[in-house]
Amino acid sequence: MSDVNDPSPSVDPVRMLRDLLDRVSETSRAVLTASARHTPGVVGGPVADYLDAVTSLTEKLTGPLEQLLDDQQRVAALMAEWAERNQRMADEMATLAAHHRQLSEQAQRLIRPALEQVDRMSDMTKGYVEELRR
């Protein structure tokens, strides 16, 4: 049983907001177009100047926000790329470590007996030298 507060999979709040804003924009455009046709010229000039100023201010505010969103997307993409590369390097390092471990174990099996043999030969040689000096 699902919680009443959980949105259903078919409900996308971002899409709903976007659709609502599109409808508000369409309605605003229709109202402004109709009101512009019926606005007397003496009022239309100052209203147009005011709306130009508001539009300019809006563009000055939204420009940096759009840049910020673009930068955030680029950073997210770079982070994802870095994570993928890091994962590949980690996998490669794990493979190299396993191979190194195998080589190290082989070296231990081959070299350790040889070193023990060298130690025994050295001990025998020392014993022989002691006998020669007596």
Cα 28–chain centre separation: 39
Q: For residues 28 and 35, is the Cβ–Cβ distance under 8 A? A: no
Judged against a pLDDT cut of 70, whether residue 108 lies above it is answered with: yes
The residue-averaged pLDDT of 86-104 equals 97
- Give the confidence band of 30 by pLDDT, cuts at 50, 70, 90: confident
Q: What is the pLDDT of residue 119?
A: 94
Asked if residue 128 is part of any domain, the answer here is: no
The percentage of the chain sitting over the pLDDT mark of 90, rounded to a whole number, equals 55
Give the whole-number percent of the chain exceeding pLDDT 70. Answer: 93
Whether 91 is in a domain gets the answer yes
**Residue 50 included in any domain:** yes
For the cut 90, the answer to whether the pLDDT of residue 97 exceeds it is yes
Q: Is the pLDDT of residue 5 over 60?
A: no
Residue 63 lies in a domain: yes
Q: State the total domains in the chain.
A: 1
Average pLDDT, the chain: 88
Q: What is the pLDDT of residues 34-58, one digit of tens each?
A: 887 777 877 788 888 888 899 899 8
Helices H / strands E in the chain, number of each: 2, 0
- The whole-angstrom separation of Cα 71 and Cα 78 is 10
Asked whether residue 2 carries a pLDDT value surpassing 50, the answer given is: no
**Do 7 and 13 meet the contact criterion of CB atoms below 8 Å apart?**
yes
Residue 99 belongs to domain spanning: 13-103
Place of tokens 């999979």: 9
Higher pLDDT, 69 or 35: 69
- Is 58 contained in some domain? yes
Burial of 120 (0-12, 13-18, 19+ CB in 10 A): exposed
